[in-house]
Structure 1
Amino acid sequence: MYKLTVFIPEEALESVKSALFAAGAGTIGDYQYCCWQVKGTGQFMPLVGSRPHIGVQDRLETVEEWRVEMVVAKAVIEPVITALKRAHPYETPAYDVIEVLDL
């Protein structure tokens, strides 16, 4: 089992979560569509060659984003990451995947 953490801008929150759930993320035992989320502020500076969804090249941007965490079974981690990259509006979405041990 893995835990996926991804940062999503407000306008894309529900559509990205729906894509992740449709790909198999967010199932814990007999429960589906499980996640935890909190709003925060992210920052980034698009570099030359980028095509930013928000902001302009060479200018530091801050934006309100949602940090969303959900579990993902090992069998579906690859389709879930593919769905994330297709659904997320950012050119390079920020996410991480951590293995979760059931001891």
Structure 2
Amino acid sequence: MFCVNGDSEWRGLGVIESSGVHLTPDYQRFDAEAHFRPAPQQVCDDPRARCGEVLTGKCKPHQCPLFGNTCNPQTAFGALMVSSEGACAAWYQYRQQENEA
């Protein structure tokens, strides 16, 4: 169903070699990107956002200067706050339950 095809840019992580995923020829008829051919989009994240560092475990969500102020569930700024399953959204909702190990 899927095949790896070229490099891909991942929000917060940058370009990763051989990480592009596309539908195989048998499933091309379901590929909305091939059908509609949208213009390429560039993501310009605010340099203060630390989404990539949260994703790679280099910092915790609350260590981002945007967390809880500029970026919160009501006015999500970063990708990790948009979805309720995102690391920052979960941290925001359950942060009072944090225990030091």
TM range (shorter): under 0.3
Higher strand share: 1
Q: Which has the higher helix share?
A: 2
- Rg larger in structure: 2
Q: Which has the higher contact order (CA 8 A, sep 6+)?
A: 1
TM-score by length of 2: 0.28
TM-score in terms of structure 1 length: 0.27
